[in-house]
Amino acid sequence: MAGRARRRATLGPVDEAGAVLSGPRGRRFCAEVACAGRDDVRGAFVDAARSPGDGATRRRWLAALPPAADTTEDTLLTCLADAVAHARYWQEPDEEDVLLTDPDVVAALRPVAQAVVASPTWQWWTSPLDADAQAHVQWTGEHSTDPPRLGGAADGLREWWRTTVEDERSAHERPDDPRARWSGIWWSAPAGGHLVTTSRARSGLGATQLMLTEDDAGWSQATVLPLRPVRAPRVYEVSGPQAWVDLVERHPLDVTRARRHDWWRTTGRDGPWLIPDWSAVATEYDAVHLTVAAYLAAPGRPLPVAGGATVIAGWDPDATHWLADVLEASGEPVVWERDDSDEPWRWRWRPSH
């Protein structure tokens, strides 16, 4: 069942490769693709990152970049997972991300980005929500999470709003100096309100979120439950930075005090910060979906909005947050496992009832 009521920001012809390279996660992803299967290239990348003032070391890495990139879906998902794993919205960019802001490096990675956007995988990375292929990931074992609640979205949104507003109110006691060593809630996704999150199932992978999870706690087991909407959902598609900006400007919520210190460290910007008021968004939409392409271009950088700026933080690629009770189970839960973080996820068994 494909959702019919959708909102997408369209801006005419887009330089897709340039959009990928405009975002911190997109640049890191392209670097991972360039290094895939090449220990010599990866070693030169690490050396260049550790020697930020050494132009010769940086040039050696650029000279070692292969002329063509491996764009099979398995490779692209593995490289994307590496880029996702290094997302940090509560601290300064790591040395690799800093290196990847160099204009010469960005220019050298452009052929990689062009190969990615020309690949078959890019077609679903730019596509809207696939309502027929959604699944929820419940982490089990250490740092386990709750099973999805397929009712109570309104209560979850009220809890999210109460927590967010109270956090902003109490943050007025924090230092004005953004350099102060203070941290708090750093995400802009509607997390913490027990809302359901889903991601797309792919061949051989019960849900992309098994691989593509920011701030991964090292999980090695999860229960994946296929879900589907009971009717055509009203979906807001975050298809790029402008779509997020439009959403924030339509339903702004000031979180300057609560986010100031964390987002200054990750972006270097000090000033007013806004995020979408998800309780207001829910009056218009049942769900909000972030495409993989938008994830590569937008998160982790300040996006100007009326009255300040905003950041997409804590939102996994291709993840959909559901703001209304429109989901039902569409299959049996399946337990997935991996031996360690470097191993692929594998279907194991269906839990007994």
* pLDDT above 70 coverage of the chain, percent: 95
Residue 344 binned pLDDT confidence (cut-offs 50, 70, 90): confident
- Is residue 36 helix, strand or coil? coil
Per-residue pLDDT averaged across 320-335, rounded? 96
If you average pLDDT over every residue of the chain, what do you get?
A: 92
Cβ 209 vs Cβ 325: under 8 Å: no
Per-residue pLDDT averaged across 295-318, rounded? 97
Exposure string over 42-64, b if 16+ CB within 10 A, otherwise e: bebbeebbeeeeeeebbeebbeb
Q: HSE of 107 in the Cβ direction (CA atoms, 13 Å)?
A: 5
Structure tokens at 269: 């910007």
Per-residue pLDDT averaged across 145-160, rounded? 93
Cβ 189 vs Cβ 315: under 8 Å: yes
Per-residue pLDDT of 232-271, as tens digits, reads 999 999 999 999 999 999 999 999 999 999 999 999 999 9
Residue of 8, 32, 350 lying closest to 212 (CA atoms): 32
Quick check: 5 pLDDT over 70? Answer: no
Model confidence, pTM: 0.93
Cβ 346 vs Cβ 336: under 8 Å: yes
Per-residue pLDDT averaged across 21-45, rounded? 96
Reported as type and span, the H/E element at residue 221 is strand 221-229
Residue 14 binned pLDDT confidence (cut-offs 50, 70, 90): low
Per-residue pLDDT of 70-120, as tens digits, reads 999 999 999 999 999 999 999 999 999 999 999 999 999 999 999 999 999
Let me know the angle formed at the C-alpha of 85 by 107 and 30, rounded to the nearest 5 degrees: 20
Quick check: 3 pLDDT over 90? Answer: no
Residue 263: how many other CB atoms lie within 10 Å: 27
Task: Check residue 194 and give left, alpha or beta (phi > 0: left; psi -120 to 50: alpha).
Answer: left
Structure tokens at 148: 């999805």
- Is residue 237 helix, strand or coil? strand
Residue 135's DSSP bridge partners are 199, 226
Quick check: 7 pLDDT over 70? Answer: no
Q: HSE of 97 in the Cβ direction (CA atoms, 13 Å)?
A: 21
**H runs (alpha helix) in 177-312:** 241-250, 256-267, 278-281, 292-297
* Predicted local distance difference test score (pLDDT) of residue 352: 60
Quick check: 6 pLDDT over 70? Answer: no
Per-residue pLDDT averaged across 321-349, rounded? 88
Residue 142 binned pLDDT confidence (cut-offs 50, 70, 90): confident
Structure tokens at 120: 């078959």
- Give the chain's largest Cα–Cα span: 61
- Is residue 150 helix, strand or coil? coil
What are the backbone dihedrals phi and psi of residue 315, each rounded to the nearest 5 degrees, phi first? Answer: -125, 115
Whole-number Å distance between alpha carbons of 293 and 337:
27
Residue 348 binned pLDDT confidence (cut-offs 50, 70, 90): confident
Per-residue pLDDT of 258-269, as tens digits, reads 999 999 999 999
Residues in the chain: 353
Cβ 262 vs Cβ 186: under 8 Å: yes
Question: One-letter amino acid identity for 52?
Answer: P
Quick check: 229 pLDDT over 50? Answer: yes
Per-residue pLDDT averaged across 143-163, rounded? 92
Residue 273's DSSP bridge partners are 309
Per-residue pLDDT averaged across 27-32, rounded? 98
Task: Check residue 318 and give left, alpha or beta (phi > 0: left; psi -120 to 50: alpha).
Answer: left
